């Protein structure tokens, strides 16, 4: 049932939102050089690697690091807004359609985040598809504390249900967790 909802909701949203996404892509291209879609290898279900897609919010050439290790000055002016409202995540609906991700689940991490990957493996978190939104994101928890994040992700895996996923989607749409951006700020 979860997979069916993932596919139907993602396809419907992409069908309705493609003109807006296209406009955002054009603005990204005009604002700074580089591709508008950012592709990055992430860890998926079972520890399998996959390519995750996002709208590019940082300048081309920014180091391939977890968000909480990236300098705030790496984020483009438009990128700040896309990140604040999580619009940069919309291309991940394509990842949902291909089966690499789900609408709800633990956020996919980078393979270089070995502490988080191992903590998730030990707690059984890698048994599920990663999600565009999840329990940790709605509660404002980022990837800087691998053990805390893995424990919250494990709680999601143990208690996941259709009703729970719908509550997390609703919380995300209402803006819970929005505005939490963990890029490093050196003021």
pLDDT tens, residue by residue, 38-86: 999 999 999 999 999 999 998 887 777 777 777 778 888 899 889 888 8
**CA pair distance 14, 7, nearest whole angstrom:** 11
Does position 180 have pLDDT exceeding 70, yes or no?
Answer: no
pTM: 0.87
**Given this model, what pLDDT does residue 186 score?**
45
Give backbone dihedrals phi and psi of 115, rounded to 5 degrees, phi first.
-65, -45
Residue from 66, 80, 87, 81 nearest 172 by CA: 87
Res. 182 pLDDT band, cuts 50 70 90: low
Give the residue, 186 or 146, on which the prediction is more confident.
Answer: 146
* CA dihedral over 75, 81, 86, 91, signed as positive or negative: negative
Of 21-35, 115-129, 136-150, minimum mean pLDDT range:
136-150
Digit-coded pLDDT (tens) for 12-38: 999 999 999 999 999 999 988 999 999
Q: Are 110 and 146 contacting, i.e. CB atoms less than 8 angstroms apart?
A: no
**Given this model, what pLDDT does residue 84 score?**
81
């Amino acid at each position: 049932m979860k997979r069916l909802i993932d596919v139907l909701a993602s396809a419907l949203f992409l069908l309705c939102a493609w003109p807006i996404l296209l406009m955002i892509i054009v603005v990204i291209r005009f604002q700074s050089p580089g591709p508008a879609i950012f592709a990055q290898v992430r860890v998926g279900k079972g520890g399998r690697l996959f390519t995750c897609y996002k709208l590019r919010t940082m300048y081309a050439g920014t180091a391939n690091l977890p968000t909480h290790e990236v300098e705030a000055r790496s984020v483009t002016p438009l990128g700040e807004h896309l990140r604040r409202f999580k619009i940069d995540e919309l291309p991940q609906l394509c990842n949902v359609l291909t089966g690499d991700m789900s609408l709800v689940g633990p956020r996919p991490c980078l393979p270089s985040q070995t502490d988080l990957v191992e903590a998730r493996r030990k707690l059984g978190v890698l048994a599920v598809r990663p999600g565009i939104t999840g329990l940790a994101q709605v509660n404002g928890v980022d990837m800087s504390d691998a053990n805390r994040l893995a424990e919250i992700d494990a709680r999601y895996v143990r208690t996941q249900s259709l009703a729970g996923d719908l509550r997390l989607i609703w919380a995300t749409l209402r803006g819970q967790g929005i505005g939490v951006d963990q890029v490093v700020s050196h003021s």
